[in-house]
Structure 1
Amino acid sequence: MVGFPLLLIPLAVYNIIVFLMPGLSFTDPLLRVTLMSGEQWPVALNDMLLAAGVLLLLLEVIKGARPGAKYLTDHLLSLIVFGAAAAEFLLWPKFGNSTYCLLTLLALVDFISGIALRTRRRAVAVTTPPSVRASKAEPTAEAAPPAPAPEVITPVPSRAPAPVIPPAASQVPAAASVAESVLLDQGAPKPTQPAVAAPDLQPGHQPSSDAPPRS
């Protein structure tokens, strides 16, 4: 979209007043403003046109500072406005005054500032490294997660096992062997011996011949 040259507005108002209202003076005060000091400030038509031109120039610079805001056609229109204003200032007697000269100078500043901003953007685009361009062209690419830091393993000093000293076999008998020997002694059957009849020790009794003699 082609931008409209805003500096054309005060220049067009000046032309309208000159050609359509020739009896209107640019220097006659239109209103008087009382300042805090008590001084009366007369505001004329040429002062209002110059103030409007300065404010519109500020807006033009802000528009041109945005990336891709002004195209070649916009600069061409600014150049045409400046050329027409300069031609009127030099060729027409009603435009040969300080007010119109300052308006023409504002149009020139608008054209030069647009060219300077465009050149500056082109220089910045050329000096941009390729990595930055790739990151701007692919905003959806996710950055790779950082590699995890290696774990640091602290070595634990090994302890030698305490020597095991076996108890002396000759000093303390094993409890199992003692219990086994006690059980064997209690459970073993004892041999029975035949009962021997006591001899009859009455007087006159003779032992039978079947009994074996005692030695």
Structure 2
Amino acid sequence: MLGAVPLLILPFLLFNLGLVGVFGEPGSDPWAAEIFSVAMMSGGVWSMTLGDLLIVLALALLLVEIVKSTRTSNASLVDHLLSTFVFIAFLVEFLLVRGAAHSVFFTLMTIAFIDVLAGFSVSFRAAGRDFNLDR
């Protein structure tokens, strides 16, 4: 049953921990904090912020969620339902919490929405292939 837990709840919780000041001083924007930078051969400088890292983590978890959605079992239905609840939590927080009005949070919410759409789409396609009519 632990496999039915949507993994995109992790970036949701991490972002909220940042809002309360776990990753920096309360009231500051921890997601703009630069983690590292690399001088490129072109002369440009590529830098990674904490927000960028959170988005990359969410994208990796989205891949795992899409692979999980190929299962055709009762657990996959629960997984889709919980993923929908995670997206609704993102949406409600985005609309009602001042600190969630952030581009990183909006991107995470979009990733959660894609998870819901892709999860149901992949499951319906997989279930359609499992259903055979004998004539």
- How does the TM-score come out when normalised to structure 2? 0.85
**The one of 103, 106, 111 aligned to 1:101:** 106
Look up the equivalent residue of 2:42 and give its one-letter code: S
Look up the equivalent residue of 1:37 and give its one-letter code: S
- Matches for 1:26-175 after TM superposition, within 5 Å: 26-68=31-73, 70-126=75-131, 128-130=132-134
Q: Kindly report the root-mean-square deviation, in angstroms, between the aligned alpha carbons of the 2 structures.
A: 2.0
Shift of 1:77: 0.7
Alpha carbons 1:27, 1:44 under 8 Å: kept: yes
Note the residue ranges of structure 2 that are not aligned, 5 or more in a row.
Answer: none
Shift of 1:98: 1.2
In 2, the alpha carbon distance for the partners of 1:58 and 1:81 equals 16
Alpha carbons 1:18, 1:94 under 8 Å: kept: yes
Look up the equivalent residue of 1:85 and give its one-letter code: F
Look up the equivalent residue of 1:62 and give its one-letter code: V
Where 2:6 maps in the other structure, the secondary structure is coil
The more displaced of 3-12 and 20-29 is 20-29
Shift of 1:10: 1.0
In 2, the alpha carbon distance for the partners of 1:14 and 1:65 equals 28
Look up the equivalent residue of 2:124 and give its one-letter code: T
Shift of 1:80: 0.8
Cα displacement string for residues 22-81 of structure 1 (whole angstroms, at most 9, x for unaligned residues): 245311312112223342212111111111111110111112124448522111110110
Shift of 1:85: 0.7
Look up the equivalent residue of 1:16 and give its one-letter code: L
Between structure 1 and structure 2, the one with the greater Rg is 1
Identity %: 31
Match status 1:11 vs 2:12: yes
> What stretches of structure 1 move > 3 A for 4+ residues in a row?
66-70
- How does the TM-score come out when normalised to structure 1? 0.55
Look up the equivalent residue of 1:130 and give its one-letter code: D
Q: Which has the higher contact order (CA 8 A, sep 6+)?
A: 2
Cα displacement string for residues 130-169 of structure 1 (whole angstroms, at most 9, x for unaligned residues): 38xxxxxxxxxxxxxxxxxxxxxxxxxxxxxxxxxxxxxx
- Decide which structure has greater helix share: 2
How many correspondences in the alignment? 130
In 2, the alpha carbon distance for the partners of 1:69 and 1:61 equals 16
